[in-house]
Structure formats: C-alpha cells, structure tokens
C-alpha cells in the first residue's frame, strides 16, 4: 500500500468532498509523510492506511469548520435568563484529536497498534 488519495478519505467521510483542493493537498502531504510508519505496522500494513485516512478526515473536518473550537458537553445551564455553556474540546483534556470522531478513531488505532504493547516473554 502506498500513500492515500483524497478519494480514499471521501470513501469514509463523504461530507468532506467539498474541501478545497489546496487544503486536500496539504492534508494529504502531511498524513502521507508525517506519520511514523514503523509504529503503525509499516508501509504495507492496513493499520497505517486507516490511520492516514482517519487523520486526514480529522484535519478535513477541522478545515471545514474554519478551525473553530468545537463545543463539547454542557458544563452549565441557567433558566430565567436563558444561558448555556459548553466545554471547549480544543482546549480540554481530550485534546484536538478528541474534537472529531475521525480524530478519536485515529487515536484508537495508535493506542491499539502492536508497537504500543508492552514487550512480554
């Protein structure tokens, strides 16, 4: 397996078909060269391919949101004056990857990769 294409990303995230081609090119350049392929099973491993797709979809989702912070769970509410506050996932303990389902799937792949397991005899 080789580098992914934007059509690979769209197969998992069809809503990202409208992402600007300049953004697509930048995202693909990063995910195709910026990941540690050894940790994710090597270039021929399906795990690396899925990690690239999910990470690209994560960046594409953030790009489509204009880089805006994503609202998380409700942290407070009022009633009379009508008020509601949300956790900011971009700055909370969940981190930026936790702000999209694709980022969470990428994190899951990395967390469960064989290279992350402790060595046991």
Please determine, for residue 32, whether its predicted confidence score (pLDDT) is greater than 50.
yes
**Domain, as residue range, for 100:** 6-68+96-116
- Average pLDDT of span 83-92: 51
- Cα(100)–Cα(28) distance, rounded to whole angstroms? 18
Does some domain include residue 63?
Answer: yes
Does some domain include residue 81?
Answer: no
Does some domain include residue 77?
Answer: no
CA 2, 21, 70 angle in degrees (round to 5)?
95
Does some domain include residue 91?
Answer: no
Does some domain include residue 25?
Answer: yes
pLDDT at 79: 73
Does some domain include residue 74?
Answer: no
Does some domain include residue 84?
Answer: no
- What b/e readout covers 46-75, taking b as 16+ CB neighbours within 10 angstroms? ebbbbbbbbbbbbbbbbbeeeeebbebeee
Give the pLDDT confidence of 46-64 residue by residue, as tens digits. Answer: 889 999 999 999 999 998 8
More confident residue, 100 or 115: 100
Does some domain include residue 16?
Answer: yes
Task: Residue 55: name the closest of 112, 91, 96 by CA.
Answer: 96
Q: How many domains does the chain have?
A: 1
């Amino acid at each position: 397996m080789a580098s992914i294409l934007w059509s690979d990303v769209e197969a998992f995230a069809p809503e990202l078909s409208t992402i600007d081609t300049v953004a697509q090119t930048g995202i693909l350049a990063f995910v195709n060269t910026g990941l540690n392929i050894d940790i994710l099973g090597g270039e021929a491993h399906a795990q690396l391919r899925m990690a690239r797709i999910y990470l690209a979809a994560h960046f594409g989702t953030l790009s489509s949101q204009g880089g805006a912070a994503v609202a998380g769970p409700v942290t407070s509410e009022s009633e009379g004056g009508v008020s509601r506050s949300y956790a900011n996932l971009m700055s909370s303990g969940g981190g930026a990857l936790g702000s999209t389902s694709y980022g969470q799937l990428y994190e899951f792949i990395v967390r469960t990769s064989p290279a992350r397991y402790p060595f046991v005899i």
